[in-house]
Amino acid sequence: MEDQPPTPAEIAAAWDREVPGVATGSIGVVTPLWRAAKLLADERRRTLERLGVDAATLDLLSTLRRAGDPWTLTTRQLAARTLVTAGAVSQRVARAEREGLVAREASDASRRAVAVTLTARGHAVVERVVRDLLAHEEALLAALPPDDREALGAGLTRLLAVLPGASARP
């Protein structure tokens, strides 16, 4: 039989035994959440690899696509919406531009602003990848009844709202 990771209850019991009086209540939430996040992140990475796109590029293309027609945002707007630094946005845009997925031009917003627009190729890539990725992730969650999924989503949203450094809008 393969070794299995200890359950959250087993971890809490071990800490109670080894360090009596330590607060272990969070283990029942944080440990399964951490494990699920790791498994889902690994699954997403493998799926994106199979689909031929990296997570940073998908984040950029998805943000532009969700902005609506004409699928254009300034680099400042991209940084705010993707929660990455201006430098990271610049690198992502440069890479996507080399691949023909986005185009850069001066923005009408100001002389220094740069507008980034999804190209027809970028539009096709994001449409294909998002459809496949979301279908795959939907299948991963299919075993959870709708009420459980809704409760889990609501609980995680409330948790995100109170965590230090987290955006109020997940």
pLDDT digits (tens, 9 = 90+) for 127-144: 999 999 999 999 999 999
pLDDT digits (tens, 9 = 90+) for 51-101: 999 999 999 999 999 999 999 999 999 999 998 999 999 999 999 999 999
Look up the pTM and report it: 0.81
**Do residues 101 and 119 make contact, with C-beta atoms less than 8 angstroms apart?**
yes
pLDDT at 90: 93
Distance CA 37, CA 93 (A): 27
Query: CB under 8 Å to 72, separation ≥6 — which residues?
Result: 64, 115, 116, 117, 118
Q: Which CATH number fits domain 53-156: 1.10.3720.10, 1.10.760.10, 3.20.20.70, 1.10.10.10?
A: 1.10.10.10
**Is residue 24 scored above 70 in pLDDT?**
yes
pLDDT category of residue 23 using cuts at 50, 70 and 90: very high
The closest alpha carbon to 123, from 55, 54, 72, 88, belongs to 72
pLDDT category of residue 169 using cuts at 50, 70 and 90: very low
